[in-house]
Structure 1
Amino acid sequence: MKPVFKLGLCAVVVASLAACSSSESRRQASDDFEYLESAPLSEWQNLPDQQPEFSGAYTIPNRDFAGPTGRNIDIRPPQQILELIPGARYERDAKGVTVWMPREEQSERVWQTINTLIEENQIPVRTSSIDGVETDWLVWTLEDDDEVIESRYTVVPVSDRSRSGFRIDMIEWKRNGQAENVSVDMRDRYSAQMTNMITSRYDGDLREEARIRAAQLVKNIPISLGKDRSGLPVIIARAPYDVFWERLPAILGQLGMTVEDRNRSQGTLTVKYKAPDDEFWEEIGTKPLQLDRDNYNIQLGDLGNRTSINVTDSAGKPIAEEQLASLSPVLVAAVERLNLN
């Protein structure tokens, strides 16, 4: 009975703490604020005949600084921009966010994404033209906000020499239905939120298209062992990176490899290998993989209409050439086996 009683008491305490934790308390520091009562700076007084020596490293500029103090300071970490577009650059400033796309066709594609969000009314619009979009009120619901936050933006295309992309600026802000002067921190947080909304949809649409193409093209993925530019062995799959990336987990699953982690923008997969039984190898008609039961890292490289495949062990060392050579025909057999299912 005693352990049960203790567990019940802990549960009550946790529940009480959770109930007392509001979005306001999660945004505020809980320590003392005695620094707000500090005496103002005074002029340094030198002793008679003293030659003062000062370092400019700690000089405080002589001007007024505007900003929150004490409990008005939002202690939450900044809203991160999800870097879902490989090669894109994100520039944040006091007014908003600029996203530079790596290629012109990607810039055009992101505007297709924005237009799709507008058509689906996920981005309500007041005005729209070739020069950009002025949104209506977007309502944000975040875990750490009990308040109703609304904001409006302009989203415009930008270009600079050979670069192109889009720019997001917040133009109005409301809290619980009341218009307010937005702080720099809130402008930064919700400009990043708007950016993530667009880039997440862009990434999701590309993934879905790649999945469909992968399903259509999986029957025609020649795989062979070759050499890279430095003469080292590498497996080459004659399929675009996006297509092969979407299909590879299913192929690896046929071989007893469980994908534990993967990063599409970096082209990396972490897999755990457990060798299938002899019956499996007889069924697919290849020799067993010359791999130990271990974790492996698979690195894919984008070669245009082809994809390179490199494998390293759990220590980060490339597997031996004979091991890589044993993987190539097994991947081919796994693709063929998927085609029959």
Structure 2
Amino acid sequence: MDRRILTISLISLSLAACSNVETRKQAKGDFDYVNIKSSNELQLPAGLEKPAETTLYAIPEVKNQGPVGKKVDIRAPALVLPLASGSRIDEFDKTAAVWFDKVDDDRDLRELLIKAIEDYLGTEDVTFSSADTVNNVWESDWFHIEEESGYLFWSSIDLTESWRFRYSLVTKPHGRSVGLNVELIDYMHTSDKGSTKDIDPIEQQRVEMAMINAITSQLDYQYRLNNRDDRIARANMEIVTLGESDKGEPALIIDYPIDELWRYLPGFFEQYNFKVTDLNEDKYFYEVEYTLIEPSLWDSIWGDKIPVVNFKDGVYRFKLKTKGTQTSLVIQDDDKQILSKELLEENFEVLEPALSFR
């Protein structure tokens, strides 16, 4: 899908559908009550005492005259949708409308969120009108939508709506959580009935929620792009090489942190017919039992042949140790003899792609 189409739909549909009076769902039924006048006070004939009064059932005077009758908007309340990875709503912390937790240790979460806001504005041909990076406050230029009627040269603009927003970020002291607030700071509605800068509070809340959700969607899209780029970069990297451990032992040098490689190895064991019989996460070793299974003729005929690690049947110990930013993998046999460099070279064509975990 064209990214432009996707982002236009987020703001155009969300904001336009939320703000145009014509698209609101309106109440239906008998609205005679809106024309009912208040009753006059009870008038007592002379000589009679006024009965006791109570304010228990008194109807207070409505000072803020909002919509009544058919003008009442009966749509469900707008909600923040935390759909991006690591996004959440914290009902106990009202300093931000939505929170984003760090999911990518290689990238700065605050910068990612700023970029998501800026990229989203860019899809609507809108820029920041001001940026206070010290106080983490940004303001946008105007968003506009127009409704036209007629055809070609006889068309006319029936309605114009415009919005400006303020974006505020709240960063936790540990830096792994960033909150986002969006505030509508300017509004303009123009139609054949005139112009107004006033907006119903419920409508304002809807527009702000729509903007928050659009930015969350943009951040999720950015996460997906980053994941794709990381996979491509990793696929082109030389992740597994032959080398030596810190003790000079023949080893496979793997470009993964030790904890990450530790989590990946069970998948390798399962795929290549190693059965885990013991492990020690503190000392980073797996003990496995291996049975060599030669591929059959039928595997070759049907195209199901899979690579085979050419080790003798027996018990092996896979020992991991940190080597800089990489991890060295030393393999011992059942007699605690370290597998030779020659044996590792012989199996490197199978081990290299298998331990790259692309």
TM bracket (short chain) = 0.3 to 0.5
Return the TM-score normalized by structure 2. 0.45
Q: Pick the structure with more helix per residue.
A: 1
The structure having more radius of gyration, on CA atoms, is: 2
